Structure 1
Amino acid sequence: MPFALHRGSPVRGRRLSIIQTRPGQLLATVVGATVAFAVPAQAHVKWFAPYIVDAAPQPIGVNLTNVWFWIGIALALTVFLATIAVETRSVGRSVLAGMDRISAPLAIRSDDFMRAATAAFFVAIFAVGGVYLTPDLQTPSALVSWAQLAIAAGIFSRKTMPLSALGIIALWLVALKDYDVFHLLDYLALGVGVAGYLLLASTDDARWHEKRFVVLFWGVAIALMWSSLEKFAYPNWFYPLVEEKPFLTFGIPRDIFIPMAGVAEFTLGFGLIWTPLVRRLSAVALLIIFTAAVYPFGRIDLVGHAMIMAALILIAVDPLSKRAAPVPRQPAAIAHARSLAAVTMSLALALVAVSSSYWGLHATFYGANGRATAGQISTHTYSPEHPHGPGTPAISKPDPQAHSQ
C-alpha cells in the first residue's frame, strides 16, 4: 500500500524539484510542516475537559461544507504525493538507508523494546490506580489495578504473554459494566493491536509470528483515525482547552484550527499503514507531536499515550519492512498519476469507512438526536457562560456514570 508526507530543496543548483532533495531537508520539512498545526491534536480531550458521549454529534454535513476541512485534505494529499515521488528515487532510498543506520541498534531488539514498554505502561497505570487501561476509564475496583500489574508480569515470559493478551481484552470487556460500548470503542483498536502483538510474538509458528508488528501497527493507525473524528463530531469538547491554553492554536482561530488538527491526526494515522517512507516519517512526526503535548498536558498525557508512542517508535524503526520501494517500470508521469489516484481513492475510502462507522454507530446506540438531556449537556460540555459546565472545575475527573449512561 502507498501514502505520503513532504519534501525540501534542491541538491545541485540547476532547478528546484521535489526529486532533487537532501534527505535531511526532506525529513525536516515533513516533520516541521506537520507539527506546525497538529501538536495539540494529540491531547486526548476526555482526559482533560468535560464531555458527554451520548450527546448528539455535529452533523457530518457540517464538516463536508467546511472549507478548512478540504484545505487540510488538499495539503495532506499534496504532501503524500510529494513523498511518494521522492520515495522511489535515490533521495528516498538515501533517507530510508539513513533511518536504517540510525535505528539499527533498536531494530534488532524491537521485540524486547515493545515488551518492556508494554510492561512499563501497565506498571504505570497500576501505580496511578483506579482506571481501566486509560485515564478517563475510572473504576473504584482495586482488583482492576492488580490485574494490570499481573498483565505486566506476564509479559516477561513468552509462555505467559498469551495470558497478558487475554487480560487486556478481558479488562476492556469488564469496563462494559461502567461504560457504554461506543465510549470504549476509542480504545478497542489499540487494545486489540497490543493484545494481538503479544499473542503473535509468543508463538513459535513463523507464519503467525512475522505478522505481530503488522497487527500492532494497524491497531495504532485505526485508533488514531477513530479518535481524530472527535474533532469533527464534538469540536465544543476542545473549547475549554483552547480557553485555558490559547497558545495551543498558534494564533489560528479556534474554528479553523480544530478541523485542520483533526485532518492532520487522521491523515498521519492513515500514513502509518502506507509505503515505508511515508509510514516512517508519519511516525516521526507523530512522536514529536505526542512528546510536545506532554509539556502543556503533563504526566497523565505521557502515561495515557505511552503505548501509542512505543508503537510509533517501532514504526519509525520499521523492523520488518522491505526498505526501498521498487522503481516503477512505466514512465514516471504514469506512475505518479497512478500514485495520486491510489492515494486519493484510499484516503477517501478510509474517511468514508471510519466516519460512517463513527456517526452510524453513535446513532445506533443513542438515536439520531443522542440520549443526553439538556441538563447533562449544560453540565458536561462547553457553553460561553459556563465553559466547563456549571460548578465544574477547569480540569475535571470524568464520572463514568455521568459520561457513559
Structure 2
Amino acid sequence: MFALLAASPAQAHVKWFAPYIVGASPAPIDQTLTNLWFWAAIGLVLVFFIATRAIERGTVGESILIGMDRVSDPLWNRLDDFIRVVIGAFFVAVFAVGGVYLTPDLQTPAEWVSWLQLLIAFGVFSRKTMPLSAAGIILLWALALRDYDFFHLLDYLALGVAVAAYLVLAASRNEEWRKHRFQVLRWGVAIALMWSSLEKFAYPDWFYPLVEEKPFLTFGMPRDVFIPMAGVAEFTMGFGLLWTPLVRRLSAIALFVIFNAAVYPFGRIDLVGHALIMAIIVAIAADHTRELHFVPKLKQSLQSVPAGLAIALVLFVGSYWGLHSAFYGPEGAPQEVAERATHSYNLESQHGPMASGAIADRPAPEVRVRRDAKSDAKDQPEGPAAAAYEATMATMHGPMMKGMRHPDPDVAFMLGMIPHHQGAIDMARVQLQFGADAETRSFAEHVIAEQEAEIRQMEDWLVRRGIRHARFESQREPD
C-alpha cells in the first residue's frame, strides 16, 4: 500500500550512459593493469574468497551451509515453480511495457513481438510447451542481435540462452539432463556479469554521467576510484557463482543486495530489466547442492582461488579485447555512432511514428543509432575522435533548444546553459580519450572541473525556484 501511494515516474537503468561510438576501440588494457584501485579491489576480493573457502572446508563451514539450507528450504522445495513464475511474470511485464525485445533497452516497432512474449509467458507453466517458450526466447534474441550491435549484446545473449536451456532441461524426462537445469542458469548469469563488468575497464567514460547524476552511488568515493572497483566487484562476484557452494551462495547474496539497491533510485523499469538475473541469483543462494561439476579438484584447494580468478580474467579480457578487434578492426569502426546519451530517448524521432499510449508518455531507454550507410561520404566523421565530438553535439542540441524556449528569460538561460556546459564536458572527455597533447589534456580536465561546478550552481538555482531539471533528459520536439 505504501509503495503504491509513494509511486513515482520510473526510469530505466540501462547499459550505456553517455555518448559512445559503437565500434570505438576500448581503452588499452594496460590502463587497467596499472590502476592501483583495480589491484586493491582484487586483493580485497581474494581475501574474502580465500577466507570463505578456508571456513567452508571445516565444520563451521558445513554448519553455515546447513543453516542456509534450513532458511531456504521452503524456496528450495519449490524452486522450479519460483523460476517459472518469475520467467512468466517477466514476459508479462515486457509485454505490458511494449515495444521491446527482452530488456527495456532493446526497442522494436514490431507489435507482434509483444504478443509472442505473452505466449512465452503462458508456455512456461507446462512441460509440453516449455521447449516452445525456449524457442521463442531464442527467436527474440536472434531478432535483437539482428537489429542491434552484436558485440555489446554478448552478455545479454548468455543470459537468454541460459533461460532457454533451463526451460528445455526442466521439461526433459531424462533425469541426467534435468539435474543440470539450475547449473546452466548459474553459468548464464556468471558469464553475463563477468562480460558486462569489463565495460567499466574498457569504456569507463560511459559511466561518468551516471555517477555524476547520482553521486550517492559511489558511497563518497571519487569517480575514478569507484568505477574500477565496481567493475572488479561485478566480475569477481560473477566468478564466485561458479565456485564452491559457500562461495557461490555468499556471492549470490552480495549480488542480490547490490541489484536491489539499484531498484529504488532507478525505478520500476530497472526491476523489470533485471528481474531474471535477480531471480536466478536468489535461486543460487537457495541451492542446496554440494556437487562440483566443473574442474572439482581445482576448486577444492585454497591456492586455486587466485589461480582460477587469474585464468578467468585472462580468458574474458583476452576475449573482450580480441573479439572487439576482430569485429571492428584495430582502429575501431567510427561509422557506427550513438547519438543519444541519456537514460531515455525520443522514441518517435529515432524510430518514426511508432510511439503511442504508454510508450510515448514514459521515459524510454536509449538505443544505439546506426548512421545511414547511404549517407554522403563528406558527411561522415573522419575518424573516431571526430565521430565522438559529433555525438556530443547531437546530444547537446535538443535539450539546449528546449530549455531556451522557457517563457522566463532567467530560467531559459539556466535551462539552456546546463546542456551547453554538459556538451563542453563531453567534448573534453573525448579529448582525454583520444588526445595526446599534455597542455590540451590539462585544459580539458580544467573544463570538466569548472563546467561541472557551474552546472551544480545552476541546478541549485533552479531547485531554489521550484524548477526540476534532469540532466541528460531527452526532450521531445513539437510536431
TM-score, shorter chain, exceeding 0.5: yes
Of 16, 26, 32, which aligns to 1:63? Answer: 32
Cα distance per residue 1:86-109 (max 9 Å; x no partner): 111222112111111110001000
For residues 171-320 of structure 1, the aligned pairs below 5 Å read 171-320=140-289
Of 343, 354, 358, which aligns to 2:316? Answer: 354
- 1:230 shift after superposition: 0.7
1:340 aligns to what SS in structure 2? coil
- Report the more deviating stretch, 286-295 or 339-348: 339-348
2:39 aligns to what SS in structure 1? helix
Structure 2 residues without counterparts, runs of 5 or longer: 1-11, 335-383, 396-420, 429-469
CA distance in 1, matches of 2:427, 2:282: 38
Query: 2:118 maps to what in 1?
Result: 149
Mapped pair 1:394 → 2:472: yes
CA distance in 1, matches of 2:387, 2:114: 30
Cα distance per residue 1:306-326 (max 9 Å; x no partner): 000000000000143359xxx
Give the counterpart letter for 2:328 in structure 1: Y
CA distance in 1, matches of 2:281, 2:139: 25
Cα distance per residue 1:285-336 (max 9 Å; x no partner): 100110011111111211110000000000000143359xxxx9xxxxxx99
Contact 1:135 1:304 (C-alpha < 8 Å) held by counterparts: yes
Query: 1:371 maps to what in 2?
Result: 333
CA distance in 2, matches of 1:129, 1:388: 32
- Report the more deviating stretch, 368-377 or 163-172: 368-377
TM-score (norm 2): 0.68
1:251 aligns to what SS in structure 2? coil
CA distance in 1, matches of 2:105, 2:18: 10
Query: 2:89 maps to what in 1?
Result: 120
Give the counterpart letter for 1:111 in structure 2: D
Contact 2:55 2:61 (C-alpha < 8 Å) held by counterparts: yes
2:22 aligns to what SS in structure 1? coil
Query: 1:106 maps to what in 2?
Result: 75
Sequence identity of aligned pairs in percent?
65
- 1:341 shift after superposition: 2.1
1:53 aligns to what SS in structure 2? strand
Q: How many residues get paired?
A: 343
Query: 1:345 maps to what in 2?
Result: 307
Q: Which has the bigger relative contact order, CA under 8 A and spacing at least 6?
A: 1
CA distance in 2, matches of 1:284, 1:84: 16
Contact 2:158 2:189 (C-alpha < 8 Å) held by counterparts: yes
TM-score (norm 1): 0.79
2:258 aligns to what SS in structure 1? helix
Contact 1:272 1:282 (C-alpha < 8 Å) held by counterparts: yes
Contact 1:49 1:395 (C-alpha < 8 Å) held by counterparts: no
Q: For the structure 1 residues 45 and 377, does the alpha-carbon distance in structure 2 shift closer, same or farther, using more than 3 Å as the test?
A: farther
- 1:374 shift after superposition: 3.6
Contact 1:269 1:282 (C-alpha < 8 Å) held by counterparts: yes
CA distance in 2, matches of 1:386, 1:242: 18
CA distance in 1, matches of 2:391, 2:256: 31
For residues 321-332 of structure 1, the aligned pairs below 5 Å read 321-322=290-291
Q: For the structure 1 residues 396 and 108, does the alpha-carbon distance in structure 2 shift closer, same or farther, using more than 3 Å as the test?
A: farther
Query: 2:379 maps to what in 1?
Result: none
CA distance in 1, matches of 2:122, 2:196: 29
1:310 aligns to what SS in structure 2? helix
CA distance in 2, matches of 1:198, 1:388: 44
Contact 1:379 1:388 (C-alpha < 8 Å) held by counterparts: no
Cα distance per residue 1:223-245 (max 9 Å; x no partner): 10001001001100110011111
2:243 aligns to what SS in structure 1? coil
Contact 1:45 1:238 (C-alpha < 8 Å) held by counterparts: no
Cα distance per residue 1:104-138 (max 9 Å; x no partner): 00100000000000000111111111111112211
Query: 1:159 maps to what in 2?
Result: 128
Structure 1 residues without counterparts, runs of 5 or longer: 1-42, 329-334, 398-405
Contact 1:108 1:319 (C-alpha < 8 Å) held by counterparts: no
- 1:47 shift after superposition: 5.7
- 1:184 shift after superposition: 2.1
Contact 1:380 1:389 (C-alpha < 8 Å) held by counterparts: no
- 1:339 shift after superposition: 2.9
Contact 1:57 1:234 (C-alpha < 8 Å) held by counterparts: yes
CA distance in 2, matches of 1:98, 1:396: 49
Mapped pair 1:96 → 2:53: no
Give the counterpart letter for 1:286 in structure 2: L
Give the counterpart letter for 2:388 in structure 1: I
Give the counterpart letter for 2:273 in structure 1: G
Alpha carbon RMSD of aligned pairs, Å?
Answer: 2.5
- Report the more deviating stretch, 280-289 or 143-152: 143-152
1:273 aligns to what SS in structure 2? coil
CA distance in 2, matches of 1:379, 1:97: 58
